[in-house]
Amino acid sequence: MIRTVTTGVALATLMAGAAFAETFEVKMLNKGSDGERMVFEPAFIQAAPGDTIKFLASDKGHNAETGKGLIPEGAEGFKGKINQEIEITLDAEGVYGVICKPHYAMGMVMTIVVGDVQPPEDFLAGRVPKKAKKRFEAQLAGL
């Protein structure tokens, strides 16, 4: 009897956690609602561990992938194909820099912050194109 109750409580707890996870939709666009070209919309998401991000292929010619050196230590990166939607669940807390590979130099980037964290000091220390770096800095300014 105790085993049955314990198993039931454990299953309910697991299912309750999944029920509270959020799914965010991000459009990959040639032109955003503010007139900016080559954007993810929204360009910044504050998520909780276990939340899902769904990248929508709203305009052709885009993908979503983690930028080199722009993910939390120990986290797994992701790489979507051009013109295809990708859905990812982020469990590791930290700051994720997402890029569109073909339009990275044009500044097509977004930031996902998982948990209540600050970006590491060296987050933008690697090779980041000028326009992309400017957009990342603007996205992180509100933290």
The separation between the first and the last C-alpha atoms of the chain, rounded to the nearest angstrom, is 49
Ligand-binding annotation for 103, yes or no, is yes
* Cα-to-chain-centroid distance, residue 135: 15
100 in a known ligand binding site: yes
28 annotated as a binding-site residue:
no
Annotated binding residue 62: yes
87 membership: H or E segment, kind and range: strand 86-90
Which is nearest to 63 in space by CA: 78, 43, 77?
78
SS3 assignment, position 5: helix
Q: Which residues are annotated as a binding site for Cu cation?
A: 62, 100, 103, 108
Q: Which residues are annotated as a binding site?
A: 62, 100, 103, 108
